[in-house]
């Protein structure tokens, strides 16, 4: 997806929290420059609050809102909405404003 002349993507990885072996999926945004030669990663975040979600499955960026769809334990689908400016400033590398 294109955002401010860069390609934006979200990557995830699964971690395990001890002692209960609880799986947590952490995410971070990455950007590719216009020539697709430089990849930058943002900070990790967890989506879903008290009961964290699994990996982000979809992303939509409007003028003012970033929407992320995600699942929870392969049983339910959810949608999270963020203010675009706050999301970009907090999670998207190379697009600080």
The DSSP line for 1-37 is -EETTEEEEEEEEEEEETTTTEEEEEEEEEEE-TTS-
Alpha-carbon Rg for the chain, nearest whole angstrom, is 14
97 band by pLDDT with thresholds 50, 70 and 90: very low
Q: For residue range 59-73, what is the model confidence (pLDDT) as tens digits?
A: 998 889 999 998 887
pTM: 0.74
Confidence of residue 52 (pLDDT cuts 50, 70, 90): low
Of 29, 1, 24, which is closest to residue 13 (Cα–Cα)?
24
Bond before 91 cis per omega within 30 degrees: no
């Amino acid at each position: 997806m294109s955002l401010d002349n860069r390609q934006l993507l979200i990557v995830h990885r699964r971690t395990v929290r001890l002692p209960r072996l609880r799986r947590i999926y952490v995410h971070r945004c990455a950007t590719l420059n216009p020539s697709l030669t430089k990849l930058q990663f943002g900070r990790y975040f967890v989506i879903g609050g008290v009961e964290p979600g699994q990996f982000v499955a979809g992303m939509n960026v409007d003028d003012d809102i970033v929407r992320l769809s995600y699942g929870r334990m392969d049983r339910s689908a959810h949608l999270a909405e963020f203010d675009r400016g706050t999301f970009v400033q907090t999670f998207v590398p190379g697009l600080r404003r």
